[in-house]
Structure 1
C-alpha cells in the first residue's frame, strides 16, 4: 500500500504515504522514521551479515543499498514534485502532484519488496539475523515506552 489515507488542509487532500523497510517489510509514514528504523536495524547486524546483505541483496551496489536504507531518493523525488507543483491552488495540479508522489512511493516500495525477497532467500542466516535484530529493537522500544508511562 502506498497511500494510507489523506489529510485535508486548505481545501486540498494531501496523501499520507507508507514507506516499506526492505529489511523486514515494516511500514512507516515518513522517510525519517524509515531511515531511523533501517539504520538501527542494520547497526544491529553483524559485519558478516551486513556483508551477506550487500552481496546477496544489492550485488555490492552501495548506491542501491543507501537508496533503500535511507529513503533519501524517494524523499527528494516527492519534495521535488511538491516544490514544482505544490504552490498551485488548482485542484487539477494538486491531483497531479498527489499522483506523481504516489508513483514515486510505489516505485520505492516495489524496489523494497524485491530487495526483501532477495534478503529472505539469501544464505548465511541473513533472514534469521534480521528477524532477531528486529525483535530486539521492538523489545527495546517497548521498554522505552513502558518507562514513559506515568503511574497515576
Structure 2
C-alpha cells in the first residue's frame, strides 16, 4: 500500500495552500478596493444631490411665493429701507443661501462635490455678494453664525466686492 502522506507531499500541499491563501487575500483586497471606489462614487453623488437641494430650495421658494420674491427683491436693492418684519423674512432667506454656500464650500474642500459644481456655485454666490446689498447687511449682522474657515472666506469675498475702499472686516 503506497504512503499518501509523505513529508514531501505534505510540504507540497502546505505550499499550495499558502499560495491559494495568498491569492484569496489578493482577490479580497481587489474586491474591497472596487467596493470602496463604488462607495466613493455614491458619496460624491449624494454630496452633489445635497448641494443642489440646499442651493435650489431658496430659489424654489422665490418661484412659489410671489410675496417673498417681492420682499427679497426690496431687501436686495435697499436692505435698510425695509420694515423689521420684511428684514426678518429676508434674513431667513439669506441664511438659507449662506448655508448652501457654506455647505458647498466644505464639500469642495473634501472633494465631495465635482469641481465644476463648486466653481459655478461659488461664482454665483460671489456675484450676489458683489451686486446685492442685502447680502452685505445680512453678513454684517449674522456672520457670527458661521465659523472658520468659511467665515474668513466669505469675509474676503465681501472685502473684494467692496473694492479697494474696504478696510478691515465686517
Higher relative contact order (CA 8 A, sep 6+): 1
Q: TM-score, normalised by structure 2?
A: 0.29
Richer in helix (by share)? 2
Q: TM-score, normalised by structure 1?
A: 0.31
Richer in strand (by share)? 1
Q: Which has the larger radius of gyration?
A: 2
